[in-house]
Amino acid sequence: MTNFIVIVLFTIFLFLSSIHFYWAFGGKWGSKGVFPSNPDGSPMRPPSVLATLIVAAGLLAFSLFYLIKGGYFSVGLPLWINKNGLWVLTGIFILRAVGDFKYLGFFKKIKNSKFAVNDTKLYSPLCLAIGILTLVLALNI
């Protein structure tokens, strides 16, 4: 069961990383409704290319971390990452699902933008699923 979860999480993060690299290098497909907007509906300033590349690299690192924890290959990670990394990822994604109580998460106040609709239907449930699956791994690896 843990091998299946590792592969699912690796695949999710590899896809998310790929789409962020695509956006960073100028791709437009799928870029509508992926960033919060202001309460008046006006768009917030989108992230820079550098910020998008940093997110893409982080997501790629997460995908590889799941493979490492699943035993698919070995890398000498710092002890604190090896010991607590799954717990940190669990916390990150469950907190992201809960949200900031304004723009994102299940308890957001701004609910009418394209991003808010996508967040309710896709992004927050995905983050919750990632958090739960990572918790299962943390308890079993």
Instruction: Quote the crossing angle between the two packed helices 79-98 and 49-69, to the nearest 10°.
Output: 120
What's the pLDDT tens digit per position in 61-83? 999 999 999 999 999 989 999 99
Write down the pLDDT at residue 30. Answer: 82
**pTM reported for the whole predicted model:** 0.91
* Percent above pLDDT 70 for the chain: 99
What's the pLDDT tens digit per position in 35-56? 888 777 777 888 899 999 999 9
Q: Torsion-angle region of residue 27: left (phi > 0), alpha (psi -120 to 50) or beta?
A: beta
